Amino acid sequence: MVPKASGSTSLLTGARKSGISLALNGGGGQPGGVSLHDRLSARSRVTNLGVVLLLGFAALSGLMNLRYMLFSRHTNAPPLGLHSWQSFHGYTPDQLSNSVPPPRNGTDHLNHLVIVTGHAIWAGCDIKGKDRDENWVLEDYQKGGSVKTFYKHIEKGLQLTNEDPSALLIFSGGQTRPNSLQTEAESYFSLAVSAGLELPMIAGSLSNSTSSSSSSSSSSSSVGQLAHANAAVATLHGLQDARMTTENFALDSFENLLFSIARFREYTGHYPGRITVVGYGFKKGRFEELHAKAVRWNTQGFLRNGERTFQYVGVDDDISEAESQLQYRGEKVKAYNLFDKDMYGCHGRLRDKRIERNPTRRFHPYMSSAPEIADLLNWCPAPNSGLQGLYPENLPWDARVTGTGWGRGALEVKKNSKGNIIPDTRWLQIGREH
């Protein structure tokens, strides 16, 4: 009996082995076959499937990395300690913010940025010589009358700021000359103070009266009595409450606009609602049609009180009609056409000019003091990209222009992107820092 049972068991085992073999080789429909689940669960099948999945994931990862390297907008790594440039938004390093006082009382209502663009450096010691070339650091082409125009720009900027209590005047221009360590902006500021022009003061400040005659002897000496003899150094009791400041890093007209917006944010804790630029009349097209569009600032909009969101006030040299026409033609060839193709001035001749105008290797601070626009400050599209290279991401002023959430330049971006870009509502919350 025992041998017979053993034989039956052997036959059954053989039948099962035969059935599995048949099933694994496509004979699942025959007696003794196993299900599809059992076949895929067999050890060899699990190993093969795992290899296929791993290869698939590796190929997908490789394609994504290749796409990132080829098409990523940011060619530079984000600041140390930050995962991405996006995480840089809204972040100012603690060691910087801890050493900066809050914005001055009375600046919270300022919303009008008045920019006076610098062109040279006033270096005179006597205000009576402000119209003489030898008291300025000039390029050769600026000699013979341009310094009178520079002073007119200062006067116009002060006039516009005095007329509007919500305006902040910013003189913009960097340390552009190798034979002077003063910035264009600082020299304009000093000239404005030394000329005895009416200075706009912060409403409610103790320094609304700029006369130093009533100040104590200690206050007067703290101003620097002997320094008054030097018109190149601005000294005045209560000068810290003047509704004007400097932007000391711009190296060209595009940076005059962008950096002044950043400086407004740095000084007040918020961004402006409207902008007025004072400069040469022949540069109006450059600012309105190119620079404002590059930063996507609406040049055609109005605020709720009816004020224009952007204005350009042009004051040209007092020269003949023929000389004036020559200036306008030169502007078209030497500047406008270059910025038309390279709107951010980060390639070719425009980049070279910035390098030439930065002999002492200055770095602007606005990546930290205006972190909401860090990406814009670092934006550099491909050469000759023109409008196609327009900065496409959200900006703090997108939702503040006309209530639509879009500026003129932003609408063009939205059109080109087929409506895929949506304004970021978090920018609506940007205001005075506490």
| Residue pair 401/298 in contact by the 8 Å Cβ criterion | yes
State the maximum Cα–Cα separation within the chain, in Å, rounded to a whole number: 134
Asked whether residue 316 carries a pLDDT value surpassing 80, the answer given is: yes
Query: Predicted confidence band at 40 (pLDDT cuts at 50, 70, 90)?
Result: low
Q: What is the pLDDT of residue 235?
A: 80
Model pLDDT for residues 142-158, shown as the tens digit of each residue: 999 999 999 999 999 99
What whole-number distance in Å separates Cα of residue 359 and Cα of residue 356?
6
Q: What is the pLDDT of residue 227?
A: 58
Model pLDDT for residues 333-358, shown as the tens digit of each residue: 999 999 999 999 999 999 999 999 99
In a domain, 253, yes or no: yes
Asked whether residue 198 carries a pLDDT value surpassing 90, the answer given is: yes
- The least confident of 134-148, 210-224, 407-421 is 210-224
Asked whether residue 400 carries a pLDDT value surpassing 60, the answer given is: no
Model pLDDT for residues 288-305, shown as the tens digit of each residue: 999 999 999 999 888 888
Q: What is the pLDDT of residue 60?
A: 79
Q: What is the pLDDT of residue 215?
A: 37
In a domain, 389, yes or no: yes
Q: What is the pLDDT of residue 3?
A: 47
Nearest to 131 by CA among 117, 116, 118, 150: 150
Number of domains in the chain: 1
In a domain, 331, yes or no: yes
Q: What is the pLDDT of residue 254?
A: 98
Which residues form the domain of 120? 106-209+217-429
Q: What is the pLDDT of residue 54?
A: 80
In a domain, 306, yes or no: yes
Asked whether residue 88 carries a pLDDT value surpassing 60, the answer given is: no
Residue 406 vs residue 262, higher pLDDT: 262
Percent of the chain with pLDDT over 90: 53
Say if strands 121-122 and 136-137 run parallel, antiparallel, or are unpaired: antiparallel
In a domain, 243, yes or no: yes
In a domain, 53, yes or no: no
Asked whether residue 391 carries a pLDDT value surpassing 80, the answer given is: yes
In a domain, 6, yes or no: no
Query: With DSSP H G I counted as helix, E B as strand and the rest as coil, what are the percentages for the chain, rounded to 5?
Result: 50, 10, 45
- Average pLDDT (244-251) is 98
In a domain, 22, yes or no: no
Nearest to 263 by CA among 83, 110, 44, 160: 110
For the entire predicted model, the pTM comes to: 0.73
Order of strands, edge to edge, in the sheet holding 244-247?
A: 244-247, 167-172, 112-117, 274-279, 310-314
On the 0-12 / 13-18 / 19+ scale of CB atoms within 10 A, 25 is exposed
Can you count the helices (H) and strands (E) in the chain?
16, 7
Other Cβ atoms less than 10 A from the Cβ of 337: the count is 11
Query: Predicted confidence band at 48 (pLDDT cuts at 50, 70, 90)?
Result: confident
Distances (CA, A) of 327 to 226, 296, 320: 42, 27, 11
